[in-house]
Structure 1
Amino acid sequence: MGGLGCTLDGHLNDQKFSAPMPWIGIYIVAASLACLVAMAADLIYGFRHTQFWFPCRFFSINATSLTLIAAAVKLSVDLNTSMPSRCDQLAKLSSTIFVCTIMANSMPSLGTMGNEEIFMNIMALGILVITLIVNICIQLATGAIFLFWKEHAFVMFIMLVLLVILSFSALTVPTTKRYLEFKYSKKYELVLKEAPSLNNQTLVSKLRENLTKYWMMAYSSSPQFVMGRSVTCTASGALCLVSAMILGEAMVRSFFLPWSLKFCNGESDYKWSTTIVLVTQTIAVGVGTIAPACRWLFAIRFRCPYRGNKGSKTEFKVERYWIQRLEEMKECPLTSAIFKLQNRHCRRIAHDAKNRLLDLCIALQTGIVSVSKWVRFVSIFSASYIFLCCDFCRKLKRKFRLSNTVSSGVNSEPDSQPDPRLDLSRFVLHLEGEEALVDLMIRNNYDATKHWFHLGTKRQPKYLIKLLDKSSQGFRALAYFDSDQVPSLGYERPPNSWALPVVTLTSIALALPNIDRSSIRDLRCGVNEGLLYVQNMEKYLDTKADLTNIKKAAEIVWTEVELYHKWLGLDLRKVSLLQGKSANEVLEELAQIAKDKFLEYEKANLTVLCLKDSPLKWPIKLLASNSMYRISKSLLLNCERSNKTAEKLFEDITVMISDILGACMTNLQQVISVKCFSSAIEERERSVRHAIFVLGKIEEILKILEHKQVPNLDTEQMACIDEWRLLHTQKDSLVNFGSSPLETDTPSSASTDVYIGID
């Protein structure tokens, strides 16, 4: 009796080998569908944000996409499965063209990669493409592909050209990034020089003006945009469109001219799945071709600023940045491994071989760019007459409207007024040969910041605004949350951060008895909204000391307080519900609990050496316990001077929290400026866009801060809470806390200036 592998007569039983083939076809469909969805998402994103160079946000050349491509082209690399029918042969062709579509579609994603990542991804893609071409050639020779051999040959040529374009375009990415990074830093300094004086502008309008400049700089220097508008990328779009047309021609011949082709009888092992593969990949080719074709068409449209322009001598000039990387490689010496060769003659041969190879690459790169420019020139020449006709029709339409306006007596005076818009031409970062695109980039992106700003204004932090309205002039109350009269717990006192005192004060406020629930809710929500901005400020500005543990302590403690109303396991609600306890007794109890926890954590953790070394290295729970102890004791000292009720103490704590948050948020304009510069060039466009959105959210907050008497501190001092405390302590050393900033404070009209640390 034969087993699963052999028949009864001992021969190989291959009847079941082809049984799973249709499900392999479904696997191919799933991989193709994943690529289709990602490319469609990029297409929708580009249209939605009017970025018609279509950045690759969802689909790019990486390990995941290359794995999906390898699965999607299974039919094209299958050497020995018979594919006799019309759908079978078309499915092989669609798989091949699908690779061309993916290569052209994902070309801008090269701008987001580092040097090593580019090299690895291009190498992997090259291996995949060469393998695909070799397998197709074998099938053409064996007859597995017996139709559309001309189409396959043409598509293989396009695929090889696209691979070469992709590889040599990748060489320019480090050069353009370095050049645009240098130009961005110079323009950034120019913005800072123009920023210090408000010139009768409000703080919000000045920041909006600066962010408009930053946006134009970030957008025009985006590595994906630079790659997307390059001549090689637009040429790859034309090649992608040609490959899609080849698939369309093959399908038309197959379905509408069946007599021109002769198919074989029989059924493929893939059976019905090849039809699904063909439909899926045809849709994917159609969707994936839109973005590359649009890049090509818009390059034609925007490279014709003057209709009928036949080009100029500079139109075919190969700019230096195309070959600069290769020239730098040529100037560099060989690696140390080569120089370990003992024979001087061998070393010279290796060095000369390297130079000859790089000379060949330089010539090839020059040829690729020149051919790409010729493709663009021919496209522009062909389309220029169409644009002339469109312009003529547009002028006639404008004259007709003007004549109607004059005859109807409509006042046209507003149209004759000068355009007051900001001149952004100085802040457009472009490469050599892209001068014609400056006006285009300004025209398409001048009003982009308005959209994100208005989105931010619709999501303003209402609880935080309500909380900041209670802040005192000059934010003087923040000097009293930590008194120097409180004895330490036997070790050096850790420095204060912005977030941890706010979290601790809020915890104390939640533990006070007889407080209205709506007041507690407003305080908790306001602090929760404010801590988001405090964390950003500490991330970008407060870098004077390593406050990592203190920042973590604030985040962990606040999560417990905000979600569960607990502080290090202590239920604050139970403390607040204790009847008969005064505010002083609650503070005394919290201080004692904090002290006990400090000693408990000290014994539980072997941290004696750490504690004696530096308070910045204390564990998180020790830092939180120390903060609760010191702040509770400081509040207790102030309460003992004037016997305060829980309600009055809650109001005082609210003002303290408001002042700490307000003082911290005076640094927001500096945070915005630093964020627009410090982010990587690949992420800078997104960072500036987020900064504009945040500015819209904090518009009302900045208006509140403008009417506070902010002390004259330099940028580093404003970013440090202990510097604020020191300044206010020196000024108010003779004034009692109970009667100074919280009780007798009135808004001052003497000055409404806010220190603007844009630089």
Structure 2
Amino acid sequence: MTTVRGETECPYNETRYSEPMPWIGLYVAAASIACVLAMKGDIISGFHNRKLWIPCRFFSLNATSLILISIATKLPVDLNTPMPRIQDQFTKLSGTVLICTTMANFMPSLGTMEDSQVILNVVPLGILVITIIVNVCIEMVTRVIFAFRLEHITILFFMIIMLLIFCSSALVVSTTKQLLRQQYELKYQQASDDMAEISTVIMLRNDVRKCWMMAHCCSPQHVLSRSAMCTASGAFCLLGALVLTLAFTRSFWMSECSNDESDYKWSTFFVSLCQLSAVWVATVAPAWRWFNVVNSKCLEIKSWDEFKGEFKVESYWIQRLKEWKDRPLTFEIGNRRYRKIVHGSRNLVLNVCLCLQIAIVLTSKSVRLVSILSVNLLKKTLFCFPCIILPRLFKTCKSVSNDEMRSSSGTEIDLRDFVLHLEGEEKLVQLIMKQGYVDTEKWICRGRKNRLMHLTDLLKKCTISEGFKGVGEFDSDRVSSVGSQEPPPNCWALTLVTLTSIAIAIPCIGQDLMESLILGVNEGLRYVRLVEKKLDLNGPVNMIDAADTVWLGIDLYHRWLDVDLAALAGEDNDAKKIIEHLAEIGKNCILEFEKSTATVGINTKSTLKWTAKALAGNSLYRICQTILEDYENKFERVEELLKWLCITISDILGACLTNLPRVISMECFSSAIEAKEDSIRKAASLLGEAENILDTLGHQAIQDLGIYQFAYIDDWRASKLKNKKPLRFPSATSNDDMSRATLGEVRLSIEC
């Protein structure tokens, strides 16, 4: 750099331009590692949840993943930075293969998108892929890329094919969703009709299996992952990873053309290492999807007709293009001649697209057929050597016949009728049915293993033979209201919490009994909250929140809000005086609430306006006053009071939990198609737990009594006070949405 005397020194210094390049290389490596972690999360989540199609959860096609990929592929699009060493050249190839493998990973995520989202995500991906292809071609012409040229040409060919497959798959997403939705509605109605009759828990178990099978098949990502195009993309992804691995092996024997190093310097080592790992991890999911479909079809192709059937182009592949072709123009052209030219040009373009779509489908099916024949040949070769362990990989999941399903369920059930599939997927029905059945059993068994010992011990105290008499005894209509307002209704959770609070305050309660009671109620409250959330549609939410607030203090500190229950029991050994003191505390809470609302002019006629402290105080006051009624005649000893409290808590829990079959039905039938899998998975796990709970309640005794379940605790009370059996469902459940969700009346009747 030269300067002229008397002039300021020029700041231009081109030798410093390359100084940050190694750090840019590390940035590229970091982006590659981020992709690895996201794809690894999908793999772990898929295998953990037995979703063999490995859905895209963490690494799906969106703005974030596109940005990460664009950063990770920075080196292949660098047109003018010299890359003289073999290691530098390998980073060019690894970045190109990475975009190829990530496209195969993205494929199932198209199923979760609406049409507008598909366009917004596929177009940027296409632009990125085309940019990489063009830049790599320029670099090969200018000799920036001089090594691994054959590998680059192969990968660019794969990228073009996969981009066409990707766009072709995006075109049929909405069509396949619509077709499966129509099938789902028909099967849903069939399952609804089956549930309309009085159901046993065994029949309910079969209903869960049916619903899971439908949801399992309707999963948008599952539909795409088993398609011919996704299978073909998995094959190309596997070949791309193989090409990169061979190039990596060959690089150790290649001689260096220059001793110079690129501007990226030492960072190219980390880039190549991270991207090689990313490619291997990115290959797992597409290769596993490819293997599942190919392995399931290996034994199905036995005749020439079946070979020809593999090349049939189903209507849904081209249905959308035909619909576009049949539509009139969306804009008006006044001149008839110009309108005819535009219409003809549009049809010509669509005809080309139709031919291209058919060609892509046939290409994908050809790749799948070649894969099937190759794997079939490999299986026959490997099975000739019994000592080789590898053939075990080709064994599909354990065969589960319909006879085994019937014997395990105790009733006739053919799950094949509930396997929803597209045209051309008939040979995959058995595989889908096996996977769906095994998955359902897994979640039901997981629920069975959830042994709630303390809840079970508590429920053994239920007075089932007397129809849960404690439900009608905890609150008396003779107890007058505090203040000018009508008392709010009772709710399951708040009543349980209040009764437990009173039991803890009784002087004679032992430490072991108190801890056992708290643990049992704590385990039961999880199901109580679920029942109230699903069935008590018109109940005030703030009452459940009040129960949660009070229970937090009881569970952790043995305190009812600000009242130390243990200290209260220590101050006075007279149980009656303690109950009176608690009633006074509850009364004061209500009066304080009315006084505070009166000063600000709040209308408290609606229970939703009541605070958690006021609701808890009202429940405490009424239950304590009910206990004090005729106290001397009912409770001669304090032990009898404690026994009554425990039995009443057990009865209320038992009565509430008889609603669990209805909750399971609603979990199966009330959610949208997109959320079906998660909802039914919860229902299956809950069913396994409910079998243990209902077995503890003495299901046969309940069946003999003919007791039907109420969602509201006050409806149980009313029926007990009238000395009548409860009606089949309360008026609150006559809501249209509720009726559709419950799909009939589910009577608690377990036959094991």
**What TM bracket, shorter-length normalisation?**
0.7 to 0.9
Distance change >3 Å, CA 198–CA 678, structure 1 → 2: closer
Checking the alignment, whether the CA contact within 8 Å between 1:425 and 1:442 is kept in structure 2 is: yes
1:557 aligned residue: 550
1:501 aligned residue: 495
Judge which range, 144-153 or 271-280, deviates more: 144-153
Checking the alignment, whether the CA contact within 8 Å between 2:235 and 2:287 is kept in structure 1 is: yes
**Structure 2 residue 206 is the aligned partner of structure 1 residue 209:** yes
Equivalent of 2:460 in 434, 453, 469 = 469
Equivalent of 1:548 in 526, 541, 547 = 541
**Structure 2 residue 318 is the aligned partner of structure 1 residue 323:** yes
**Structure 2 residue 664 is the aligned partner of structure 1 residue 672:** yes
2:571 aligned residue: 578
CA apart distance, 1:495: 2.6
Checking the alignment, whether the CA contact within 8 Å between 1:611 and 1:618 is kept in structure 2 is: no
CA apart distance, 1:333: 7.0
Q: Which amino acid aligns with 1:520?
A: M
CA apart distance, 1:755: 2.7
Structure 2 distance, partners of 1:361, 1:553, is 62
Structure 2 distance, partners of 1:442, 1:207, is 19
2:393 aligned residue: none
CA apart distance, 1:196: 6.8
**Structure 2 residue 79 is the aligned partner of structure 1 residue 85:** no
Structure 1 distance, partners of 2:405, 2:667, is 34
Alignment of 1:451-530 (within 5 A): 451-473=442-464, 474-489=467-482, 490-530=484-524
1:411 aligned residue: none
2:415 aligned residue: 424
Checking the alignment, whether the CA contact within 8 Å between 2:421 and 2:429 is kept in structure 1 is: yes
Distance change >3 Å, CA 731–CA 271, structure 1 → 2: same
Q: Which amino acid aligns with 1:508?
A: I
CA apart distance, 1:507: 2.0
1:160 aligned residue: 160
Per-residue CA deviation, residues 482-515 of structure 1 (Å, 9 max, x unaligned), is: 2222222322332322212112222222222231
Q: Which amino acid aligns with 1:499?
A: A
Distance change >3 Å, CA 677–CA 345, structure 1 → 2: farther
Checking the alignment, whether the CA contact within 8 Å between 2:294 and 2:368 is kept in structure 1 is: yes
Structure 1 distance, partners of 2:339, 2:648, is 73
Structure 2 distance, partners of 1:614, 1:54, is 49
Per-residue CA deviation, residues 391-441 of structure 1 (Å, 9 max, x unaligned), is: 8899xxxxxxxxxxxxxxxxxxxxx99994653222222111111111222
Q: Which amino acid aligns with 1:458?
A: K
CA apart distance, 1:371: 1.8
Per-residue CA deviation, residues 606-636 of structure 1 (Å, 9 max, x unaligned), is: 7976544422343333322322222222232
Q: Which amino acid aligns with 1:505?
A: L
2:738 aligned residue: none
Alignment of 1:19-58 (within 5 A): 19-47=19-47, 51-58=51-58
Secondary structure in structure 1 of the residue aligned to 2:258: coil
Judge which range, 129-138 or 466-475, deviates more: 129-138
Judge which range, 377-386 or 586-595, deviates more: 377-386
Distance change >3 Å, CA 596–CA 118, structure 1 → 2: farther
**Structure 2 residue 444 is the aligned partner of structure 1 residue 436:** no
Alignment of 1:611-626 (within 5 A): 611-626=603-618
Judge which range, 142-151 or 365-374, deviates more: 142-151
**Structure 2 residue 139 is the aligned partner of structure 1 residue 139:** yes
Equivalent of 1:567 in 539, 560, 564 = 560
Equivalent of 1:294 in 288, 291, 299 = 288
Alignment of 1:340-379 (within 5 A): 360-379=352-371
Checking the alignment, whether the CA contact within 8 Å between 1:510 and 1:520 is kept in structure 2 is: yes
Structure 2 distance, partners of 1:600, 1:556, is 18
Checking the alignment, whether the CA contact within 8 Å between 2:198 and 2:747 is kept in structure 1 is: no
Distance change >3 Å, CA 724–CA 100, structure 1 → 2: same
TM-score scaled to structure 1, two decimals? 0.83
1:740 aligned residue: none
Checking the alignment, whether the CA contact within 8 Å between 1:461 and 1:698 is kept in structure 2 is: no
Judge which range, 462-471 or 76-85, deviates more: 76-85
2:270 aligned residue: 276
Per-residue CA deviation, residues 512-540 of structure 1 (Å, 9 max, x unaligned), is: 22311111111111111111111222222
User: Which blocks of at least 5 consecutive residues in structure 1 are unaligned?
Assistant: 395-415, 734-752
Secondary structure in structure 2 of the residue aligned to 1:316: coil
Checking the alignment, whether the CA contact within 8 Å between 2:86 and 2:147 is kept in structure 1 is: no
1:190 aligned residue: 190
Structure 1 distance, partners of 2:437, 2:678, is 16
2:251 aligned residue: 254
Alignment of 1:665-704 (within 5 A): 665-704=657-696
Per-residue CA deviation, residues 525-578 of structure 1 (Å, 9 max, x unaligned), is: 1111111111222222222x1522222222222223222322232222222222
Q: Which amino acid aligns with 2:517?
A: L
CA apart distance, 1:272: 1.5
Judge which range, 121-130 or 500-509, deviates more: 121-130
1:658 aligned residue: 650
Distance change >3 Å, CA 589–CA 325, structure 1 → 2: farther
Q: Which amino acid aligns with 2:522?
A: N
Q: Which amino acid aligns with 1:218?
A: A
Checking the alignment, whether the CA contact within 8 Å between 1:498 and 1:664 is kept in structure 2 is: yes
Q: Which amino acid aligns with 1:483?
A: S
**Structure 2 residue 207 is the aligned partner of structure 1 residue 225:** no
2:398 aligned residue: none
Per-residue CA deviation, residues 341-387 of structure 1 (Å, 9 max, x unaligned), is: 99999888877776665555444333322221122223334444455
| Aligned-pair Cα RMSD in Å | 3.6
Secondary structure in structure 2 of the residue aligned to 1:718: coil
Structure 1 distance, partners of 2:275, 2:38, is 13
Per-residue CA deviation, residues 284-305 of structure 1 (Å, 9 max, x unaligned), is: 2123213322322332222233
Structure 2 distance, partners of 1:62, 1:120, is 9
Checking the alignment, whether the CA contact within 8 Å between 2:201 and 2:750 is kept in structure 1 is: no
CA apart distance, 1:10: 1.1
Per-residue CA deviation, residues 242-285 of structure 1 (Å, 9 max, x unaligned), is: 222332343344323x26xx633311222112112112211221
Query: Percent of counterpart pairs with the same letter?
Result: 46
Checking the alignment, whether the CA contact within 8 Å between 1:307 and 1:384 is kept in structure 2 is: no
Structure 2 distance, partners of 1:312, 1:657, is 67
**Structure 2 residue 66 is the aligned partner of structure 1 residue 75:** no
Distance change >3 Å, CA 556–CA 524, structure 1 → 2: same
Per-residue CA deviation, residues 320-341 of structure 1 (Å, 9 max, x unaligned), is: 3333444555666777xx57x9
Checking the alignment, whether the CA contact within 8 Å between 1:456 and 1:693 is kept in structure 2 is: yes
1:413 aligned residue: none
- How many residue pairs end up in the alignment? 702
Q: Which amino acid aligns with 2:440?
A: T
Structure 2 distance, partners of 1:418, 1:478, is 40
User: Which blocks of at least 5 consecutive residues in structure 2 are unaligned?
Assistant: 387-402, 726-745
Checking the alignment, whether the CA contact within 8 Å between 2:485 and 2:604 is kept in structure 1 is: yes
Per-residue CA deviation, residues 589-619 of structure 1 (Å, 9 max, x unaligned), is: 2222222222323444579765444223433
**Structure 2 residue 372 is the aligned partner of structure 1 residue 380:** yes
CA apart distance, 1:159: 2.2
Structure 2 distance, partners of 1:532, 1:280, is 45
CA apart distance, 1:88: 0.8
Q: Which amino acid aligns with 1:271?
A: K
CA apart distance, 1:89: 1.0
Structure 1 distance, partners of 2:349, 2:280, is 39
**Structure 2 residue 227 is the aligned partner of structure 1 residue 240:** no
